[in-house]
């Protein structure tokens, strides 16, 4: 994470794209490994393999579930920002970045750290951890597999949360214009030079799963 220029009123919470890929995987892969270990420990390796085979056998349904999950992932970002950041829907846009083949949700207005964190965490919790936990408890391999995949898919969101781990409540979040991450500004402060609007989107670069 880069330091802010001396005397500046904002904090730079960003990393390079290369570092973002590494950090994202380091953050989320242990969680994914623990989930798989838990399912295999509770229901056996055969049940885990059977879930993969069932997903491949019903590839059409699997593909539909994945595409729907990806759309819902971005929609949950926007919904959480609208509800907790009191952001109008007109300030939230969705799209697809062809350079990295990733969809994105992007908010064009600043928001508090709390609201930004909730929006960043929502898809990983709703689509990832909750379905994975329910599948693990019930021994439902396909539900577990869905949750596992969308937990891993939230790697970029996990990185954003990690970058904001020591952010002060009440501060505002603004996207970094060139790197993965954001600027933090105290309430009422002027933004950093060339800062783009806040959001998990293409303006700040993209980490896996964002």
In a domain, 89, yes or no: yes
CA distance 5 to 8: 6
In a domain, 57, yes or no: yes
CA distance 3 to 139: 47
Instruction: Give the pLDDT confidence of 45-59 residue by residue, as tens digits.
Output: 999 999 999 999 999
In a domain, 209, yes or no: no
Q: Please give the residue range of the domain that contains residue 171.
A: 16-204
Instruction: Give the pLDDT confidence of 77-134 residue by residue, as tens digits.
Output: 999 999 998 888 888 888 887 776 778 887 778 889 999 999 999 999 999 999 999 9
What's the structural domain count of the chain? 1
Cα radius of gyration rounded to whole Å, the chain: 18
What tokens were used for 129?
Answer: 């951890």
CA distance 150 to 17: 21
Instruction: Give the pLDDT confidence of 139-189 residue by residue, as tens digits.
Output: 999 999 999 999 999 998 999 999 999 888 888 987 776 778 888 888 876
- What DSSP element (H or E) covers 112? strand 111-112
In a domain, 119, yes or no: yes
């Amino acid at each position: 994470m880069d330091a802010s220029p001396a005397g500046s009123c904002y904090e730079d919470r960003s990393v390079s794209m290369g570092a973002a890929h590494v950090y994202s995987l380091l953050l989320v892969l242990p969680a994914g490994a623990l989930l798989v270990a838990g399912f295999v420990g509770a229901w056996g390796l055969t049940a885990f393999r059977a879930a993969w085979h069932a997903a491949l056998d019903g590839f059409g349904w699997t593909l539909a579930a994945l595409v729907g999950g990806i759309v819902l992932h971005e929609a949950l970002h926007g919904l959480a920002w609208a509800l907790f950041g009191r952001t109008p829907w007109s300030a939230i846009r969705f799209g697809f970045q062809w350079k990295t083949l990733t969809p994105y949700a992007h908010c064009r207005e600043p928001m508090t750290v709390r609201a930004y964190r909730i929006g960043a965490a929502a898809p990983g919790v709703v689509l990832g951890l909750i379905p994975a936990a329910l599948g693990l408890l019930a021994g439902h391999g396909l539900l577990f597999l869905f949750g596992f995949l969308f937990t891993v898919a939230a790697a970029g969101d996990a990185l954003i949360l990690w970058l904001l781990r020591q952010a002060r409540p009440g501060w505002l979040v603004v996207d970094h214009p060139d790197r993965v991450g954001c600027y933090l500004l105290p309430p009422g402060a002027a933004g950093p030079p060339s800062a783009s609007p806040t959001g998990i989107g293409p303006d700040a670069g993209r980490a896996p799963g964002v």
